[in-house]
Amino acid sequence: MTVRLGVTGATGRMGRAVLSAATGREDCEVVFAVNRDPDGESVEGIDIESAAAFDSLVADREPTAVIDFTGPESAANYARTCADAGVAFVTGTTGFDDDAYADLEAASEETAVLHAPNFARGVQALVNVVGEAVRNLQGYDVELVETHHNGKRDAPSGTANRLLEEIEANGDFGERTHGREGEAPREAGEIGVHALRAGDITGEHEIVLAGNHEEVRLTHRAEDRGVFAAGAVDAAVWIAGQKAGWYDFADVIDA
Ligand SMILES: NC(=O)C1=CN([C@@H]2O[C@H](COP(=O)(O)OP(=O)(O)OC[C@H]3O[C@@H](n4cnc5c(N)ncnc54)[C@H](OP(=O)(O)O)[C@@H]3O)[C@@H](O)[C@H]2O)C=CC1
Ligand SMILES: O=C(O)C1=N[C@H](C(=O)O)C[C@H](O)C1
């Protein structure tokens, strides 16, 4: 079966990477790609249409799944349209507040929704091992550093938040400390969180565990956005035919 894809945020950094990944595959075809104010652009030979036409494009072109890398409010709105039309929705967008995330979750009551803050397979492996490292090194200081390009809007990254949840679920920690300035000695049990923004760095996450005169560093470095895009297209192909519900990238990898 060829999966019919709609793509939002199509002229953004990730939208372009998704169109590049999808057009190179035989298991899917892009039936529309939208962006705000597209201005007659095309990407990978695909004409970019106006996001204002999203609802009618979903109705007319009948995508199997939509892939979204935009912003939190638009992602939640697109998810609602997809839910009403019974179209699966895959989003890698990060930076959701509680209300927008609740809207995304509500859409999953009517259609299949998959949200992953990171579509790199290596990050999923990092999520899997970080809890074990924390359990093995109880009492060690833990700090997380994430580094991204200077156009990134949200901090800490969605991936960092996911890793922090995993760390906190596996040890006895106090507050998260976001950066330090002035008189700021480390409190026992705090987790330091540091967001660097510079140049065009694709995305790096490092967890430092230190104590007992030793340190362990767990690092993931994405070298190219194509790695996220390939994972998102894999997710869209996988989700076609899944029943309504909430899914994450681990479901795709474990399938
Ligand atoms: N899960 C993962 O693996 C990854 C997730 N991300 C996340 O994906 C998201 C997008 O990242 P990136 O591609 O770098 O960002 P960009 O800013 O490069 O692209 C975002 C695109 O979405 C469009 N957009 C933004 N807001 C809206 C809106 N309200 N309605 C319609 N379109 C909108 C933008 O249009 P315009 O040009 O008009 O602003 C732009 O084309 C971020 O949340 C980022 O954290 C990024 C990489 C990997
Ligand atoms: O905005 C980005 O670029 C990225 N965002 C995601 C996040 O917030 O975790 C994933 C990746 O690190 C790139």
Q: Note the pLDDT tens digit of each residue in 204-231.
A: 999 999 999 999 999 999 999 999 999 9
- Is the distance from CB of 70 to CB of 78 less than 8 angstroms? yes
pLDDT at 201: 98
Does the CB atom of residue 34 touch ligand 1 within 6 A?
no
Q: What is the mean pLDDT of residues 112-137?
A: 98
Tokens for 241, please give them: 């035919």
> Given pLDDT bands bounded at 50, 70 and 90, which one contains residue 196?
very high
- Which pTM value belongs to this model? 0.98
Has residue 98 got a pLDDT over 90? yes
Has residue 85 got a pLDDT over 90? yes
Q: How far is the CA of 34 from the centre of ligand 1 (A)?
A: 12
Which residue, among 81, 69, 66, has the nearest Cα to 30 in the 3D structure?
Answer: 66
Look at the domain 3-119+225-254 and name its fold.
Answer: Rossmann fold (3.40.50)
Has residue 24 got a pLDDT over 90? no
Has residue 15 got a pLDDT over 90? yes
Q: How far is the CA of 199 from the centre of ligand 2 (A)?
A: 14
In the chain, domain spans: 3-119+225-254, 121-222
- Is the distance from CB of 117 to CB of 140 less than 8 angstroms? no
Residue nearest ligand 2's atom 5 by CA: 157
- Domain 121-222 = CATH 3.90.1170.50: no
Give 43's strand partners: 46
CA 15/CA 24 separation, integer angstroms: 15
Does the CB atom of residue 231 touch ligand 2 within 6 A?
no
DSSP string, the chain: -PEEEEEESTTSHHHHHHHHHHHT-SSEEEEEEEESS-TT-EETTEEPEEGGGHHHHHHHH--SEEEE-S-HHHHHHHHHHHHHHT-EEEE------HHHHHHHHHHTTTSEEEE-S---HHHHHHHHHHHHHHHHTTT-EEEEEEEE-TT--SSS-HHHHHHHHHHHHTS----EEES--SS-PPPTT-EEEEEEE-TT--EEEEEEEEETTEEEEEEEEE--THHHHHHHHHHHHHHTTPPSEEE-HHHHHH-
Residue nearest ligand 1's atom 34 by CA: 9
| Tens of pLDDT, residues 159-195 | 999 999 999 999 999 999 999 999 999 999 999 999 9
